[in-house]
Amino acid sequence: MLSWIREILGVRQDPAVLKKVSVRLPFGIGAAEWEADPTERRAAWSLYIELMTRIAVQPLEVDQGLVREALNSLYSLFGTTREILKQAGPNVGASRESVGGIAIIVLNNGLRPFLSKWHPFLQAWEAKRPADLSPKEHEQNWSEEPKLREELAQLRRDLEQYANALAVIAGVEQ
């Protein structure tokens, strides 16, 4: 990576010198400490970029966006995470205290329960949309929409903690 890009992104010149990382993680994972190897750091960087560029860790204000789009973006993290972990190979590890293990726990203990709960409720509401209402107006008329947004905000805080941990593992200065 060009040095000026590294500087803008806050990436340390040589993250391979990072010996040990200690991070706090959401979704019941707790704290983890281990020696991250270069493969784990690259996987952590890829996962970090995916999270930081999605609604997953960006606030969704009440008057902005559609919760449907937020759910779709969160759902797409499953496929993206799988691809990153497959490309990284077994060196990212499948133990609980590895980038791969943590990513799998985040998907299964964080995203999956949230999406399993809200996707069917929202889908049922969307099926009732009258032709004369926009998707945004219809969503705003849904009595459960404020609760979904509230739970989405909590999930966002947890995913932000996960993204911060990935940044530490990847060697990104915050």
Say which residue the tokens 């010149």 belong to.
13
Instruction: Output the CA angle 72-162-112, nearest 5 degrees.
Output: 40
pLDDT at 111 over 50: yes
Count other C-beta atoms under 10 Å from residue 166's C-beta. 27
Query: What's the pTM?
Result: 0.78
CA atoms of 84 and 44, how far apart (whole Å): 9
pLDDT tens column, 119-154: 999 999 999 999 999 999 999 999 999 999 999 999
Token pair of 77 as six digits: 């993290």
**143, two tokens:** 């009595």
Contacts of 103 by beta carbon, 8 Å cutoff, 6+ apart:
43, 47, 81, 84, 85
State residue 59's pLDDT score. 77
Contact 71, 148 (CB under 8 A): no
> Per residue in 81-91, pLDDT tens?
999 999 999 87
Q: What percent of the chain has pLDDT over 90?
A: 50
Q: Give CA angle at 18 (14, 20), nearest 5°.
A: 170
In the chain, the amino acid numbered 95 is S
pLDDT of residue 99: 87
Strands (DSSP E) along the chain, which ranges? Answer: 21-25, 30-34
User: Exposed, middle or buried: residue 12 (CB in 10 Å: 0-12, 13-18, 19+)?
Assistant: middle
pLDDT for residue 48 is more than 90: yes
